[in-house]
Amino acid sequence: MKFLPKILIPVLACLTPVAPVAGGPHAIPAEFSELFPIGRTFSGVKIPSYTNDVLKTVLEAEAITRVNDTYLDLSNLVLKVYNPEGGIESTVEMKEARYHLITGQLLSQTPAKVNHEKFVMTGEQLGYDTTTELSTMKGNVKVVIPKAREFTGNFGLDALDSK
């Protein structure tokens, strides 16, 4: 049985579709997507995202290549999500990913890792839908929760201490 946890994280929210999706967010302005001409590779890319002049996320990629009118390929992608105080709340790491400019779907092409202040999650593939802000991790998913006892109910961990 495959374990497909779905977690709601706004980690990849700095990406939004180029074209409007029914019920989805507004598009990236056409002039922004035109900064990535088809066939060109750009190195050392950093794209910040702000909410009310407060830094929300920073997308960093070693390289971004505009494949065609529909896709961007990203290599050594690191997404940093900042808390309201300006500290890093979580990061997402992918060696290779593909972003669909029209639908707003980001899909890792290699194993991915999510580092959050409350957990670390790894898996063979991470998908993110920018319109729903829903992430799905598939394949050999592992979650480490260092402070699991802080959660209500302790997940039955007290029973393990008595053994």
Q: What is the per-residue pLDDT for 146?
A: 83
Q: What is the per-residue pLDDT for 50?
A: 85
For the beta carbon of residue 117, count every other beta carbon within 10 angstroms.
Answer: 12
Domain annotation covers residue 51:
yes
For the beta carbon of residue 93, count every other beta carbon within 10 angstroms.
Answer: 18
Q: What is the per-residue pLDDT for 52?
A: 87
Domain annotation covers residue 151:
yes
Domain annotation covers residue 1:
no
Token pair 């706004």 in the structure block, residue = 10
Separation of alpha carbons 141 and 125, rounded Å:
9
> Which pTM does this prediction carry?
0.70
- Structural domain total, the chain: 1
Domain annotation covers residue 104:
yes
Q: What residues of the chain score a pLDDT lower than 50?
A: 1-29
The whole domain housing 141 covers 6-161
Separation of alpha carbons 156 and 145, rounded Å:
14
Separation of alpha carbons 24 and 26, rounded Å:
7
